[in-house]
Amino acid sequence: MMATTMCNTYIEAAQIFGFELSIACPRGFEPKVAEYIRQPAQITLTTDPAEAVGHADLVVTDVWISMGQESEAAARRATFAGYQVDEALMARARPDALFMHCLPAHRGEEVSAAVLDHPASVVWDEAGNRLHAQKALLEFLING
């Protein structure tokens, strides 16, 4: 996982729900954990993806190149090359571990096609749940 909005959300959730969170990212892409810590939390930062997923119940990643970062695409692909969530990395997590991605995903980049399409991948359920939350938000904003 890299320092993205999703990563920051997981940092906040780890504090609220008390789960152990391991974050793997290259040097220079670390989230600013201190900015999000308001109460004790079990958060580990590492540069080793294998260490981060060891014994994980859930493995999450996000895109390596977001909108507005297209000029950095080649450098980011090179920097994050060892962070792809593939079958070998998932094998280091718990046998019943799930995979999530907030979508859209780039097959073969941050996640292998085999992991994205695996039964342990819940990305489509995740997207469907997000749709309901977005509809509720729209209703609230429109109707007050």
In this predicted structure, what is the pLDDT of residue 2?
Answer: 44
> pLDDT, tens digit, for every residue of 94-144?
999 999 999 999 999 999 999 999 999 999 999 999 999 999 999 999 998
Encoded amino acid at 3, one letter? A
What CA–CA distances, in Å, run from 117 to 36, 51, 101? 33, 24, 12
pTM for this prediction: 0.87
H/E element, 59: strand 58-61
Q: With contact defined as beta carbons under 8 Å apart, do 26 and 79 qualify?
A: yes
**Hey, what domains does the chain have and what are their CATH numbers?**
5-143 (3.40.50.1370)
Question: β-pairing, 43-46 with 58-61?
Answer: unpaired
Task: Tokens for 117, please give them.
Answer: 């399409």
Helix (H, G, I), strand (E, B), or coil: what is residue 44?
strand
